[in-house]
Amino acid sequence: MPNFANIGARFKGDPLSERHSRQRLVVGNWKMNGSLAENASLLNGITAHWQGAEGVETALCPPYVYLSQAAEALSGGPIKLGAQTVSEYSNGAYTGEVSGAMLADLGCRYVIVGHNERRRMQGETSDRVAEKFHAAQQAGLTPILCVGESEQERDAGMALETIGHQLLVVVKRVGLEAFARAVVAYEPVWAVGTGKTASPEQAEEVHRFIRAELGELGARTQILYGGSVKPGNAEQLFALPDIDGALLGGASLNADDFVAICRAAA
Ligand SMILES: O=C(CO)COP(=O)(O)O
C-alpha cells in the first residue's frame, strides 16, 4: 500500500498483538437533535439499562446548549461528555463560537473535530480542522478527528489518498506525537446517515491504513468507525482487528440501540 502521506515510520508490528492495549470506545454524536424533555428521557433510558456495557469507554456529544443538562445527568457515572465541535480560537470577539476551555469547564473530555457535515456544510477546511484539533488539546480535551472519503473519491480509487491528506494536514500542524492523546474516526461520507455501511473489508482496509500512517503511534491510537452503525452490524465491525469502537449518529438517539452497541463493544 503506498504511503501517500509519508507521515511517519511505518508501523512494523502486528496490530492484533497490540489489541489488548487499546480500550474500546463508543461515542454518540447527537448532531442537531433533542430537546430538554427528549434528552432527559434518552439519558434516563441509557443510564437505567447500562448493565452489561461496563467494560467500554463511552461518551455522548449533545448540542452545546444541552451540555450542562447532560453533564448533570451523567455526573459520577461511567459515560463521559463530549462536544461536536470547538472554536480554533481561545477567547475573544468570535460571536457564536465556543472555546475548548469553555467545554473543559463544563466537564467535556472529548470533542469531535472535522466531522464531514462541518467540512461540507460549514466550510471547514483541513487547515481549520487542524487548528481545532490543536485548540482542543491545548484545553486538555481529547479530539476525535473525523476523516473519510466521498462516494466520488471512493469510486475514483482515491479513498486512501483523501484520508492520508486529511491526516497529513493535522500531523503537520500538531506533530505525530499529538496522536498519543487523540482518537481518529473513519467516517466514509457515503455511509453517514444513509443506511449504507462500509463492508468489513472496506472498513478494515482504511483502519489499517490509518494505523500505518500514524507510524509507531498507530498501534496505540483508538480508531473508530462511523457510518450507519446499528445493533445489527456492530458486532461484526468490532470483531475486526483494527476497529476499536464506533462513532454513532442515529443509533445514539435511541437508548436501546445505544446500549446494545456499547454492550457489543464491551
Ligand atoms: O456521522 C455519524 C457520527 O458522527 C454517523 O451517523 P449515522 O450513524 O447516523 O450514520
pLDDT at 21 over 80: no
State mean pLDDT over 123-135. 97
Confidence of residue 74 (pLDDT cuts 50, 70, 90): very high
d(CA 191, CA 205): 16
d(CA 232, CA 7): 36
Q: What pLDDT, in 10s, does the model give residues 236-264?
A: 999 999 999 999 999 999 999 999 999 99
- The finding on whether 29 has its CB within 6 A of some atom of ligand 1 is yes
> Is 187 noted as a catalytic residue in this protein?
yes
Question: Which residue out of 57, 88, 115, 134 is catalytically annotated?
Answer: 115
CATH of domain 17-265: 3.20.20.70
Q: What pLDDT, in 10s, does the model give residues 23-63?
A: 999 999 999 999 999 999 999 999 999 999 998 999 999 99
Nearest ligand 1 atom to the CA of 230 is 8
- The finding on whether 193 has its CB within 6 A of some atom of ligand 1 is yes
pLDDT of residue 252: 98
Annotated ligand binding at 91? The verdict is no
pLDDT of residue 18: 54
- The finding on whether 171 has its CB within 6 A of some atom of ligand 1 is no
Nearest ligand 1 atom to the CA of 117 is 1
Annotated ligand binding at 132? The verdict is no
Q: Separation of 203 CA from ligand 1 center, angstroms?
A: 15
C-alpha cell belonging to residue 110: 472529548
C-alpha cell belonging to residue 73: 445527568
pLDDT of residue 56: 95
Residues above pLDDT 70, as percent of the chain: 92
State mean pLDDT over 170-181. 96
CA dihedral 136, 137, 141, 142 (to 10 degrees): 100
Residue 227 and residue 207 in contact, taking contact as beta carbons nearer than 8 Å: no
- The finding on whether 160 has its CB within 6 A of some atom of ligand 1 is no
222 φ, ψ to 5°?
-75, 130
The rounded mean pLDDT for the chain is 92
Q: How far is residue 219 from each of residues 28, 92, 144, 209, measured CA to CA in Å?
A: 24, 38, 17, 12
| pTM score, whole prediction | 0.93
pLDDT at 10 over 50: no
Confidence of residue 197 (pLDDT cuts 50, 70, 90): confident
- The finding on whether 250 has its CB within 6 A of some atom of ligand 1 is yes
Query: Quick one: which of 104, 100, 39, 103 has its CA closest to 66?
Result: 39
Is ipTM beyond 0.90? yes
Confidence of residue 166 (pLDDT cuts 50, 70, 90): very high
Q: Provide the residue ranges of all domains of the chain, joining segments of one domain with +.
A: 17-265
37's CB contacts (< 8 A; 6+ apart) are none
State mean pLDDT over 188-197. 91
Q: Separation of 206 CA from ligand 1 center, angstroms?
A: 17
Nearest ligand 1 atom to the CA of 115 is 4
> Is 115 noted as a catalytic residue in this protein?
yes
266's CB contacts (< 8 A; 6+ apart) are 24, 52, 53, 54, 55, 56
